[in-house]
Copies of this chain bind each other. A is one copy, B any other.
Amino acid sequence: MTIAPLAATTTASVLAQRLREAIDAGRWQPGELLRQEQIAAEYGVSRIPVREALAQLQSEGLLEIAHYRGARVSRPQAAEIDELFDLRLLVESDLLTRAFSRHDQRSLRELTRLQDRLEDADDRLGWISGDIAFHEALYGPAERPRSLALFRQLRAPIDRFSAQALGPRARKQGWADEHRQLIAAVAVGDAAAVQKILEQHLQATRAVVLAACSGEGDD
């Protein structure tokens, strides 16, 4: 028998997740105002949980909220994106180093399964969430909850642009190839290769995201 899923969830957190996806999907352009009343009406709730969700997204760096002046989608400068990728490199290298020797048959199969599912996803949001799941499984054996949370946090302001860049099929293929190479390198225990592939993966992503980011901010 199954346990009821125990809805230990608040309206605000559900809203936050929905808004996160909506922002990644490009529903609001950078700089555009998110009206509390409008969002509240749309989801059939009052403004209180909306405000809490917006505050949450602000702390994640997706929004900028000015006193009495509303919340708008943040428009990160190229330098900021660059800095985020540098930090990702630091944190993810560390995570992967620690996870590397702890992977086993089961975790590698899980990685392959996640990658299969990822490549099956046809919409952009599915790719993004699948990519997050893949990397979390890749870093999971490190058993570093705080670093993993940081990984998610560092991605959040970036994924919006990654989703945009998923248009060309070539990029998807390159992305998938790198993931497969990562699995293979972990499987054969080649530590140096693992690090090198991860760095290439992140550098390639950085280039694409920077292009998407600077190509959009034109108003």
Contact = CB atoms under 8 A, between A and B. Distances in A.
A91 B94 contact: no
A12 B59 CA distance: 14
Contacts of A121: none
Given A10-B67, A90-B90, A90-B94, A144 B83 contact: yes
Copy count, this protein chain? 2
Interface string A43-78: 000001001100110010000001100000000000
B9 A67 contact: yes
Contact of A84 (B66, B86, B146): B146
Contacts of A91: 87, 90
Interface residues of A, number: 25
A8 interface: yes
A51 B83 CA distance: 32
A51 B59 CA distance: 15
A177 interface: no
